[in-house]
Amino acid sequence: MRRMICLLGVLLICATLVCPALAADTFVPSIGYKDGPDVDDAVIGGTKVGDCVVVTSIAQAEKKSTDITQAARDELLDVYKKLSDGSMKPPVDGYVIRELVDVSFKQKACVENAEHNHAEELAKDGTTIKVTFDLGVAKSTKVVVKTYTNGAWEDVVAVTNNGDGTVTVEFEHFCPVAFCVEQGAEVPPSQTGDEAGQNMILWIGLMVLSLAAIVVLVILGRKRAK
């Protein structure tokens, strides 16, 4: 009997603890702003390390609200300043920098206090890391990625537009990264579903045929006249 009462008591306590959890906040936030591309995935030496990679935007670097080294932060801001004031040319002619960010391993979680230091692993010769970024680019967009190392822009090992808005980049090392796309890509107005668009092919064809028929008739007429 005593055990039964204890058990019921425990169940009652558990129920009172669970109820607030069940009545938890159902609020769904609205999107604020995209502070640099999200990292969908990262793989180094066959190991998934997406949680260890951090993308730092200009704004985050300025606020120091990011888990990267001071040197990395300063370098990113320095590059941005030079690009903004024109003292540095964009890394690729004819291309616009869509995103300029720092890509690093999280200092506290994955470098200083980590059992396995991925930064040291990446520093070894021949080791690369593949990071998939959610850039939101169209399937047809050509993306060129450059890293800024030792005062110069360098190519990365490989860039793949995955066709779903994400881009996978293979790096030999981390540093300021520029995601570049071709300049002057204008946004066309949305599709109207206008049937006249389809009819236009007919009208063009009709116009061309009319012109051709006129030319033929004129030529024939001149031959008859001769």
Partner 1 sequence: MKKRMRIIDIASAVLILLLVIVMLYSGLQILESTVLRTGADEQGFVSRTITRDGVSYYPRQDITVVMVLGIDQNGPVQASEGYINPGAADMAALLIFDDADKSCTILQLNRDTMLEMPVLGVGGKNAGTYYGQLALSHTYGSGMADSCENTRRTISNFLYGIRIDYYLAMNMDAISILNDAVGGVTVNVTDDFSHVDPTITKGQMTLRGEQAIRFVRTRRDVGDQLNISRIDRQKEYIGSFLKKFRSRYHSDLEFAATTYDQVLPYIVTDCSLNTITSLMDRYGDYEIREVVSPAGENVMGEEYYEFYADEDALDELILRLFYAPKE
Which residues neighbour 57 within 8 Å (Cβ) at sequence distance 6 or greater?
35, 36, 101
Question: Does 98 contact partner 1 by CB under 8 A?
Answer: yes
Terminal alpha carbon distance of the chain? 126
Question: Does 199 contact partner 1 by CB under 8 A?
Answer: yes
Pick 62 or 112: Cβ nearer partner 1: 62
Q: How far is the CB of 204 from partner 1 (least distance, A)?
A: 6
Using CA atoms, how far apart are residues 135 and 150, in angstroms rounded to an integer? 26
Q: Positive or negative, the Cα torsion across 116, 117, 120, 122? A: positive
Question: Does 139 contact partner 1 by CB under 8 A?
Answer: no
Q: How far is the CB of 170 from partner 1 (least distance, A)?
A: 22
Of 137, 145, 175, 177, the residue at the interface with partner 1 (CB under 8 A) is: 137
Pick 57 or 147: Cβ nearer partner 1: 57
Pick 25 or 115: Cβ nearer partner 1: 25
DSSP E strands in the chain: the ranges are 38-44, 47-48, 53-56, 95-105, 129-134, 143-149, 152-155, 158-161, 166-171, 176-182
Question: Does 24 contact partner 1 by CB under 8 A?
Answer: no
Pick 46 or 193: Cβ nearer partner 1: 193
The 3-state secondary structure of 23-66 reads CCCCCCCCCCCCCCCEEEEEEECCEECHHHEEEECHHHHHHCCC
Q: How far is the CB of 38 from partner 1 (least distance, A)?
A: 9
Under the rule (CB under 8 A), what is the footprint of partner 1?
A: 26-36, 57-59, 62, 80, 83-84, 90, 96-100, 136-138, 141, 165, 178, 181-190, 192-197, 199-200, 203-204, 206-207, 210-211, 213-214, 217-218, 220-221, 224
